Amino acid sequence: MINILFVCLGNICRSPSGEGVFKALVEEEGLEENFFIDSAGTSAYHVGEAADSRMRKHAAKRNIRLTSRSRQFRKDDFKEFDIIIAMDKSNYRDITAMDRHGEYYEKVKMMTDFSSGYQKIDVPDPYYGGDSGFEEVLNILDDSCRGLLMELKRNNGL
Ligand code: 4NP
pLDDT at 119: 87
Q: Is the pLDDT of residue 156 over 90?
A: yes
| Sequence spans of domains, the chain | 2-156
pLDDT per position as a tens digit, 95-148: 999 999 999 999 999 999 999 999 899 999 999 999 999 999 999 999 999 999
Superfamily of domain 2-156: Response regulator (3.40.50.2300)
Q: Residue 110: CB within 6 Å of ligand 1?
A: no
How confident is the prediction for the chain on average, in pLDDT?
Answer: 98
Q: Is the pLDDT of residue 76 over 90?
A: yes
* Helix (H) or strand (E) run with residue 6 in it: strand 2-8
Q: Give, in order, the Cα–Cα distances in Å from 117 to each of 9, 121, 136.
A: 23, 10, 12
Q: State the DSSP code for 69.
A: B
Mutate to test the pocket of ligand 1, among 19, 127, 138, 140 (most ligand atoms within 8 A of CB): 127
The verdict on whether 8 is a catalytic residue reads yes
Answer yes or no: pTM beyond 0.75. yes
User: In which band, very low, low, confident or very high, does the pLDDT at 152 lie, cut at 50, 70 and 90?
Assistant: very high
Q: Residue 140: CB within 6 Å of ligand 1?
A: no
Contact between residue 114 and residue 132 where contact means Cβ atoms under 8 Å apart:
no
Strand, coil or helix: what is 83?
A: strand
